[in-house]
Amino acid sequence: MTLIDETARRVAAEDDRTPPHGRGRTAVPVAREGVARPERRRPGKAALEDGFDVVGALLAGVSVATLLFGWIAPLSGVVGWVIVAFLVFLLAYALLVSLRSGRLAVMNRIVTVLLYSAGLTVLAVLAFVVLYTVGRGIPALSNVTFFIETMRFAGPLDPLDVGGIAHAIVGTLIQISIALAITVPLGITTAVFLNEVGGPFARFVRTVSDAMTALPSIVAGLFVYAALITLVTKERSGFAASIAITVMMLPIVIRSADVVLRLVPHQLREASYALGSSRWRTVWKVVLPTSRSGLATAVILGTARGIGETSPVLLTSGVTAEMNTNPFSGPMISLPLQVFTFVQSPEPNMVARGFGTAAVLILLVLSLFVVARLIGGRGAGVLSDGQRRRARRRSQDDLMRIVQTRTLPDYAVPASTARPQENP
């Protein structure tokens, strides 16, 4: 303990000797008398006029389109209005920019506007699809019974407060759990095999699994239908649906886990081998923990894809209006298939139920996605604040242990790790 105190004092004394600005700082020039300092230019910032150009051109586009559609030309329809407004906007914008700049600048501005329009279109379409679905699903979703009842006693003409989709929610959960129970261990082990073991067989496995990502999901369903249902079980079941989802998800999980494992820095593996650990210890203690968040993201995104897939389930799970918790016998419906079944009906109430189910499905996928982003979003080996704190604490404890059991030369302990208040 005295050892650490001594070191701390010594390092602190050293700190005093450093120049006041710190080492290696760029000196800020002192303003001299008589030298004018002009306003700093910010070339990246849009000038005020540029904003006016955009707004003015937008106004022009909207007004011309409205005029054309309302009074002058025999045009109609929202889509046509948007297209005309956009074209007029582009023309007006090009004209406005060309008043003050040359050809190159006009081209540059037009392309920038086009790029923004593409991005905004994508954004708007996605937002619209989601909001439209949720919006039309609200009449169904606003009944609590929608989540806790099944469609067993509900006919197509019944009001929305009778019947619900509890059976489809349970079916989805059971099917995806079985699929995950097969996919996660198998997929991650295969990815480990591809990365850590290698060899000609691993290359073959990688080629085959890459090829399988091209398998259309309906063909995966057809395979399970023909191989498992017509030959073995003779009836559609939740288990068959899980197998179809597995066949579809497995290549996705392998591929994304493979990418994540490849990002683990080689230095970490080499350090582990250099310390004499075996291959297995390296994988278990270094590679997998380092890529934990990436692997979780891969699995969750694969789950989101698997939950939303309708076509393999369409052929394999069968349609039912009743609760079925046994995956091995009898049909077991899931959320996407339930949406599909509901909207086949011409009754407005059934369509409303379909939208409600689709909204539940979207919210489920969205929440999985948010969870994936919260867990992931960091590269391999990049720790969160909490993880970093824990790692630092562990390493300090190790240091203390070493210091107390051995006599080290006193320069070995840097002051920043000293925690004298915790010494016995």
Of 291, 287, 286, give the one whose Cα is nearest residue 256.
291
Question: What is the CA 379 to chain-centroid distance, rounded?
Answer: 13
Q: Which two tokens stand for residue 379?
A: 């590269």
Taking CB under 8 A as the criterion, the residue among 215, 263, 408, 412 binding another protein is 215
Q: Is residue 77 near another protein by the rule CB under 8 A? A: yes
Q: Is residue 247 near another protein by the rule CB under 8 A? A: yes
Q: Is residue 274 near another protein by the rule CB under 8 A? A: no
Dihedrals φ, ψ of 376, to 5°? -85, -145
Identity at 22, one-letter amino acid code = G
Taking CB under 8 A as the criterion, the residue among 66, 142, 177, 230 binding another protein is 230
Question: What minimum distance in Å lies between the beta carbon of 259 and another protein?
Answer: 12
CB 341 within 8 A of CB 287: no
Q: Is residue 189 near another protein by the rule CB under 8 A? A: yes
Q: Is residue 254 near another protein by the rule CB under 8 A? A: yes
Taking CB under 8 A as the criterion, which residues in 117-176 touch another protein?
117-119, 121-123, 125-126, 129-130, 132-133, 136
Taking CB under 8 A as the criterion, the residue among 67, 87, 115, 138 binding another protein is 115
Question: What is the CA 417 to chain-centroid distance, rounded?
Answer: 38
d(C-alpha 297, C-alpha 375), whole Å: 7
Taking CB under 8 A as the criterion, the residue among 211, 382, 391, 402 binding another protein is 211
Taking CB under 8 A as the criterion, the residue among 108, 142, 267, 404 binding another protein is 108
59 vs 87, beta carbon nearer another protein:
87
Q: Is residue 281 near another protein by the rule CB under 8 A? A: yes
Q: Which range of residues in 1-9, 50-58, 302-310, 387-395 is near another protein by CB under 8 A?
A: 302-310
Taking CB under 8 A as the criterion, the residue among 13, 28, 79, 157 binding another protein is 79
d(C-alpha 105, C-alpha 101), whole Å: 6
Taking CB under 8 A as the criterion, which residues in 349-368 touch another protein?
351, 354-355, 358, 361-362, 365-366, 368
Q: Is residue 326 near another protein by the rule CB under 8 A? A: no
d(C-alpha 330, C-alpha 103), whole Å: 69
Q: Kindly tell me the sign of the dihedral angle through the C-alpha atoms of 70, 73, 74, 77.
A: negative
d(C-alpha 314, C-alpha 212), whole Å: 20
Q: Is residue 314 near another protein by the rule CB under 8 A? A: yes
Question: What is the CA 421 to chain-centroid distance, rounded?
Answer: 44
Question: What is the CA 386 to chain-centroid distance, rounded?
Answer: 22
